[in-house]
Amino acid sequence: MLLTIFNYFWLIAMFCLVPAGVLWLCRKYPIFDKIGPVMILYAIGLVLANIPMPVEIKTLQGIIPTIMIPLAIPMMLFGCTFKTSEISLQVRLVASGVLSVCLAVIGGYLIFGDGIHQGAEIGGMLAGKCTGGTLNAAAIKEGLRISDNTYILLTTYDIVICFIYFVFLLAGGIRLFRWFYGEKTRLDISEEDAEAIKEEMKAVKANPYKGLWSKAGLKQIGQVLATTIAVVIVAAGMSYLIGWIFGADLANFMNEKKGGWFMAPFILMLTTIGIGLSFYKPIQKFDKSYDLGMYLIYIFSLAIASMADLSNLQIMENLHMIAFLAFAIFVSLFIHAIICRFLKVNADSMVISSVAFINSPPFVPMMVAVLKNRSTLIVGLGAGIVGYAVGNHFGVLMASLLERL
């Protein structure tokens, strides 16, 4: 009993304090700053996932993402500003994202589908997952009667390949796309916004947490946390109300593996309420809320990476399935980049929307930290929410189409 308590104590301390150490390294040494805190935390998490750790870490790996994301999204939204010009941008991103996934899944199925049991159904599930997220994959799995074993394997491969996808973006993909788009110029913002972003970039290099433990800082932490918890409670209540209105199985409403779709309305409500409160002047005074939310994302990054166990993948037996999944993810990314370039979408918006589609909205704040461009937060969350909404129908339609090829 004492050992269990001790293990929980030091594991919680590790997840909470390691990001602080990484942030200190990034400010102290330029080489770590160039790598970025998210990349470093991912690397540390990957090491933790593949060395002996106390069994209590499994419980924390389930709890931390569940807590961090609902708290981080409102906190970060409180510190954002919004523009009507983003509506047109959202339409272009969603159209490009759905078309990109459609073409990538069809191409992958034609190349690898013959070697996969239930290939068309898996293609449909991939289409839904790469447009929305895990909850769409779970719902499509039930709708298309994909076997539990296949679903578990596919989910495991997806975690690893999405990790590689994320590392690709962090290691050079973002720079590649910015070069391809002819950036430094951002095509969808004004000169005033561009100048503001430059100022934000300067602020990022400073210590955003300085003064946080002062009397005023602690007071703001309490205010931000209280407001955020209230937002989470209201959003959860409204989500359950939506589920009840539409006849959802409330007993399994929060269980994505059993087709529960709580997360879609929950994130929608969190985003909507967070955006609404961001226009409220007392909330606008929370100048530390964005950075507090970002720190929760750093904790989330470490926890997610620590789940990537590479020891039970059965790679040789499922090469076609792995290739199909990797093809769908990476080819859809590059098609999305080409279409968005043609539609005059800036590189950061393309990248953040791709993360929202492929990794789902909870990963959007993490990529915002990497891009160091808070203006992309709403873009990414909006794209991901639309992906949630269309993912199930799109996945079933894709499975039907693939069966006819």
134, part of any domain: yes
| Per-residue model confidence (pLDDT) at position 91 | 86
| Per-residue model confidence (pLDDT) at position 189 | 47
Instruction: Say whether pLDDT at 210 is over 70.
Output: yes
Q: Is residue 64 a contact partner of residue 295, using CB atoms and an 8 Å limit?
A: no
CA 231/CA 149 separation, integer angstroms: 38
Q: Which two tokens stand for residue 49?
A: 């996932």
User: Rounded mean pLDDT of 245-267?
Assistant: 67
| Per-residue model confidence (pLDDT) at position 331 | 96
Element (H, E) at 188: none
Q: What is the pLDDT of residues 45-56, one digit of tens each?
A: 888 888 889 999
CA 307/CA 224 separation, integer angstroms: 30
181, part of any domain: yes
CA 105/CA 100 separation, integer angstroms: 9
CA 203/CA 403 separation, integer angstroms: 53
| Per-residue model confidence (pLDDT) at position 312 | 64
Q: Which of 231, 251, 228 is nearest to 240 (CA)?
A: 251
- 187 — pLDDT class (breaks 50, 70, 90): very low
- 329 — pLDDT class (breaks 50, 70, 90): very high
Instruction: Say whether pLDDT at 185 is over 50.
Output: no
| Per-residue model confidence (pLDDT) at position 359 | 81
Q: What percent of the chain has pLDDT over 90?
A: 27
311, part of any domain: yes
Q: Is residue 93 a contact partner of residue 379, using CB atoms and an 8 Å limit?
A: yes
318, part of any domain: yes
206, part of any domain: no
CA 102/CA 197 separation, integer angstroms: 34
In terms of average pLDDT, the best of 128-137, 239-248, 288-297 is: 288-297
75 to 38, 40, 60, 245, 400: CA distances (angstroms)? 18, 23, 22, 29, 41
User: Rounded mean pLDDT of 284-306?
Assistant: 85
Average pLDDT over the chain, rounded to an integer? 82
139 to 113, 253, 306, 390, 392: CA distances (angstroms)? 21, 12, 26, 12, 7
Q: Is residue 75 a contact partner of residue 367, using CB atoms and an 8 Å limit?
A: no
Q: Is residue 243 a contact partner of residue 250, using CB atoms and an 8 Å limit?
A: yes
| Per-residue model confidence (pLDDT) at position 123 | 93
What is the number of domains present in the chain?
Answer: 1
Instruction: Say whether pLDDT at 360 is over 50.
Output: yes
Is the model's pTM score more than 0.75?
Answer: no
Widest CA span of the chain, in angstroms?
A: 66
- 393 — pLDDT class (breaks 50, 70, 90): confident
Q: What residue numbers bound the domain in which 253 lies?
A: 2-201+212-403
User: Rounded mean pLDDT of 302-317?
Assistant: 76
Q: Is residue 329 a contact partner of residue 359, using CB atoms and an 8 Å limit?
A: no
293, part of any domain: yes
207, part of any domain: no
Q: CA torsion sign, 398 to 260 to 358 to 51?
A: negative
Instruction: Say whether pLDDT at 323 is over 90.
Output: yes
Instruction: Identify the residue whose tokens are 């770590």.
Output: 32
- 251 — pLDDT class (breaks 50, 70, 90): low
| Per-residue model confidence (pLDDT) at position 1 | 76
User: Rounded mean pLDDT of 378-403?
Assistant: 84
Q: What are the two backbone dihedrals, phi and then psi, of residue 229, each rounded to the nearest 5 degrees?
A: -60, -40
